[in-house]
C-alpha cells in the first residue's frame, strides 16, 4: 500500500496522472500493449486532465475498459459516464487501439456478458479508480459482492450513492438518479496489475479512513484494495484528514 498525500486536488491529479502515464508507458514498452480501466466521477477530473497531457504515450497501443455506467440513462444526459469519458478523455487523445464503453441503454444482462468475455481475454495492466462517499468501488455499494467472479454485474445503487450524485450536480433531483447500474465487479477490479486510486475532497475523509484503516469488509467496499499487491492511493490533505499518522507515512 502506498499513500501519496497532495496539498490539493490539482496536485493530486498531477501525481496520479503522471504515475498512470508511467505505468502505461512501461507496460507498452514491455508488452507492446497496455490494457487500462478508466473510472469517472468527480474524483477523476484532475487525474484524467493530467493523463491527457502526457505526450509520449502511444495511445494506439492502449485498450480501454470502462468501470461503470447507469442503466437506462441516455448518453445525451450530462450524467452519462460514456459522455464523460468521450468529452474528458477520448476526444483529447489520439485514437486508442480499442475502447469498450459500458452501454447502459441496451439489455444489461447481455451487456455484462459481452463486456465480460472481452475483458477476460484482456488482462488489465492499469486501473484508475476512485472511492465514493459511501466507500464504494466502482458502483459496488455496501454491502458489496466480494465473491462474484462475473467481470461485470448489475447493481442497485444505495441512497448515499444516489444522494452523492445529486449533490454533485449531475442530476436535478435524487429521484432522477437511476436506481441500477452496470458495474465492474470487485474481483475483476482487483485482478488489475496496478491500481491508482484517486480520492480528493473532505467529503471522502471518513470513507478513506474506513477503507484504509478498518479491517477488510464488504461494508467498506474499497477496503478490499488493502489486499492488492500494488495499489497506490492518491489523496489530498482534505480526504486524508482523518487518517492516522502512521498510515500517512506508510509506503510498502
Ligand atoms: C463513481 C463512479 C466510479 C468512481 C467512483 C468513485 O460514482 N461511477 O467510476 O470510481 O464512483 O468516484 P466519485 O466519488 O468521484 O464518483
- DSSP per-residue string spanning 63-105: EEEE-EEESS--TTSTT-HHHHHIIIIITTSPPPSEEE---TT
How many Å apart are CA 160 and CA 174, to the nearest integer?
10
Q: Which ranges in 123-237 belong to alpha helices (H)?
A: 159-167, 186-190, 205-213
Which residues form ligand 1's pocket by a CB distance below 6 Å?
A: 39-43, 67-68, 129-132, 136, 138-139
- 1 pLDDT band, cuts 50/70/90, is confident
pLDDT at residue 249 in the model: 57
State which of 37, 132, 177 you would mutate to test the pocket of ligand 1, scoring each by most atoms of that ligand within 8 A of its C-beta. Answer: 132
Average pLDDT over residues 164-185: 97
**Domains of the chain, first to last:** 2-251 (3.40.50.1360)
Q: What is the distance in A from the centroid of ligand 1 to the CA of 53?
A: 22
- 167 pLDDT band, cuts 50/70/90, is very high
Residue 87 pLDDT more than 60? yes
> What tens digit of pLDDT does each residue of 225-252 get?
999 999 999 999 999 999 997 777 544 4
pLDDT at residue 138 in the model: 98
> What tens digit of pLDDT does each residue of 177-199 get?
999 999 999 999 999 999 999 99
Handedness of CA 137, 139, 143, 146 (dihedral sign): negative
Q: What is the distance in A from the centroid of ligand 1 to the CA of 30?
A: 30
The mean of the pLDDT values for the chain is 97
**Global pTM?**
0.96
Amino acid at each position: 500500500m502506498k499513500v501519496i498525500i497532495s496539498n490539493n486536488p490539482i496536485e493530486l491529479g498531477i501525481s496520479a496522472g503522471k504515475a498512470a502515464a508511467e505505468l502505461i508507458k512501461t507496460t507498452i514498452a514491455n508488452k507492446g500493449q497496455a490494457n487500462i480501466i478508466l473510472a469517472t466521477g468527480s474524483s477523476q477530473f484532475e487525474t484524467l486532465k493530467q493523463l491527457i497531457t502526457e505526450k509520449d504515450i502511444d495511445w494506439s497501443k492502449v485498450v480501454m475498459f470502462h468501470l461503470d455506467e447507469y442503466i437506462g440513462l441516455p448518453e445525451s444526459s450530462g450524467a452519462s459516464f460514456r459522455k464523460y469519458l468521450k468529452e474528458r478523455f477520448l476526444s483529447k487523445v489520439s485514437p486508442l487501439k480499442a475502447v469498450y464503453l459500458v452501454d447502459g441503454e441496451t439489455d444489461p444482462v447481455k451487456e455484462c456478458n459481452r463486456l465480460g468475455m472481452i475483458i477476460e481475454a484482456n488482462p488489465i495492466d492499469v486501473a484508475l479508480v476512485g472511492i465514493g462517499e459511501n466507500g464504494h468501488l466502482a458502483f459496488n455499494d455496501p454491502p458489496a459482492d466480494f465473491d462474484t467472479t462475473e467481470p461485470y454485474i448489475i447493481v442497485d445503487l444505495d441512497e448515499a450513492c444516489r444522494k452523492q450524485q445529486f449533490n454533485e450536480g449531475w442530476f436535478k433531483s435524487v429521484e432522477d438518479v437511476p436506481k441500477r447500474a452496470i458495474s465492474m465487479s470487485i474481483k475483476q477490479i482487483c485482478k488489475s496489475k496496478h491500481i491508482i486510486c484517486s480520492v480528493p475532497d473532505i467529503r471522502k475523509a471518513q470513507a478513506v479512513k474506513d477503507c484504509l484503516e478498518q479491517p477488510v469488509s464488504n461494508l467498506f467496499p474499497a477496503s478490499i484494495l488493502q489486499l492488492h499487491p500494488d495499489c497506490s492511493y492518491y489523496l489530498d490533505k482534505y480526504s486524508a484528514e482523518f487518517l492516522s499518522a502512521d498510515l500517512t507515512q506508510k509506503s510498502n
